[in-house]
Structure 1
Amino acid sequence: MVEQSELDTNWSLVTDDRELERAAEALASGSGPIGVDAERASGFRYGAEAYLVQMFRRGARPFLFDPTELSSFAPLAEAVGDEEWILHAASQDIPCLDALGLRPPTLFDTELAARLLGYERVGLGSIVESLLGIALEKAHSAADWSQRPLPEPWLEYAALDVALLPDLRDAVLRDLEQQGKTDFALQEFEAVRTRPEKPRPAEPWRKLSGGHALRTPRSLAIARELWLARDALARERDLAPGRLIPDASIVAAAAANPRSRNDLARLQAFRGRASRTELDRWWRAVLAGKTTDDLPGPKTREPGSIPHHRGWPQRHPEAAARLAAARAGIVAEAERRHIPVENLLTPDHLRAVTWMPPVPPTPDAIALRLKELGARDWQIGITTPIIAASFVDF
């Protein structure tokens, strides 16, 4: 086993536009696919911007780009744009890379491939250790990458994350070929690469963790106003909202419906680093929720959505029976192929087709419905016969 401390990545930190142009030339002169990664400051800053971008290609050293110091990534995008990009858990990094004008033309996702291969552990450190025999230290994965200057051990960690990706890709690809899953993986990679960004929910405050415990329109109104006040302050200060007051504090205050500013201050469950320093702000929000005529009702389903499947056995027993029969067959097939059941077919797709199956539920009709829902061809080919057979008795 090779320890991380034994590796020398010879990385370069790029902090101005001239250095970026030289790095772009070096990467363009390298060979093979490009390892790419990005570090954000999730849990520390308001947004999900990249605070460091890493790239490595055989024949060139790892380059670490500081977006806070660079005016444009256009030269880099032009230099590497036509090559395959290797990312680990690409769906996490593509949005922040896209915001910088960096978009992979083709993608190889080592984490997604590891899932399709049935690996028990799919984190980067786990598969690097099992396939390459290198023990990575993951101590800085949840660090505040927005701080400057970045400590050298963090930069070394960031460089290794991409320096190993080409070798890891080759090892994972060999396993995909041995298991006959290469085409499955390529379809999944393209689906991740081209997936549109999710639209912002109409009422994002309803995503409050624990908010389901609030039952009355007035408590929901207080929660909404506190969420909006926190979001505005977090945006203003460029801080993650939970670092001001956590969701649990908003829910506790909304449930308590305090009668005064002092009542809010005495509420033990109302805590957080800004719970007292911004008490006047929070009390104004509570007052707005207590006095508004715009009272929110219970959460409504979006048009075209289906009821939560947990309630099907009581309210929609036929749909529940179809779902149970189809899922049993798909679980068995997933186990046989050593693919996680959620990767063999997205659970939402299975629920949608069992909630309202085509009439008649022929294999062709089921396949067409799965295609419309966004299932990939390899998923459709495997699961359509299973679903069609499970509908025979209904």
Structure 2
Amino acid sequence: MTSNAPDAVLHASPAASGGDPFIEQPVAYDAILLAGFGGPEGQDEVIPFLRNVTRGRGIPDERLELVAHHYRAFGGVSPINGQNRALKAALEAELAARSIDLPVYWGNRNWAPYLEDAVAEAAANDDTTLLAFATSAYSSFSSCRQYREDFSRVLDGTPYDGVVTIDKIRPFYDHPGFVQAFIDGVHDAVAGFLADGVQAESIQVLFSTHSIPEADALRSGSRDVEWGPGGAYAAQHEAVAAWVMDRVAQLEPAAASVPWELVFQSRSGPASQPWLEPDVCDVIGELPSRGSQAVIVVPVGFMSDHMEVLWDLDTEAKEAAEQNGLRFVRTPTPGVSPAFVAGIVDLIQERLEGRPNADRTRVASVGGSFDVCRPGCCENVRAGFKRAAAGVAP
């Protein structure tokens, strides 16, 4: 059974069980576990799904319905499961093209197919040494540690406890395969506005990501690093945004004069709880007074076109731009672009080969992309530390 020692790495492969931040020895993984958030696929599933997302918080269905209308506007179907099906197929094709014989199992945190089902299927096939790819790039409770808690939850006290191990691919915000889609999108949008006669100084780029509580942001990432007021979460996003703008300026020199900033969206907490700001729509409302004529919104916090992208950006942010007389472009997410899919398989190969950390490909890195998460990282202030795989306890 799994050790309860305070320094244990729960449910880890032998190579990761010692707690080293980087696993620099080859590991013979049996399979890849694609870990998703999940989403409803019909009107009848919307409220049950939202109950799963908010479990333990005592939110009544009447309040959940305020969010449900986002899904109902799209027939009750979140795009996220379809996107993960496409990603699974793309990963399987890329792995096969590189002669990497690893199956891909897919399980979600909040809706079918669930992580429990994926682990059971893997174990039934004698695939017990799993490497998980969680579909979120940055360091925070909701984008990293909560997945690790889920891995522990689906193994603790089950027939798979002590049989199945789950390691996790590092946060991949700084991998070029993830960043490339944002570079391409911003370059195309800036070039398009410039060709239409909009001056560079009148174009505003807004890099948007999901807001999280300030207290959680402060605790994101390793406690050994002084990240600043937004923790690792904000620092990593800022680094990606700066890298993107620098590369766009190399491709389009006039873009060096284009202003940009990091903004936030999709907050869901009570008004009394401070969340990361400013809000994307609030900033759009200020742009005319700054002399802006066009706005480019970059969903830098999102791997694919989630509901938050389709509703909060393509609907609400676009409407805010129209109301303020601004031209509007929302750039693409990585999705299943060839560069991104190849980048994920590069991350898998890092672990299969035990590639030394010094030899790994990174851009825009401010640190924090560990193979084994450090003690106390990404604490959930409201719930404290729960058992979590793929990291040194707590």
Q: Does the alignment reach a TM-score above 0.5? A: no
More helix by share: 1
TM-score, L = length of structure 1: 0.22
Rg bigger for which structure?
A: 1
TM-score, L = length of structure 2: 0.22
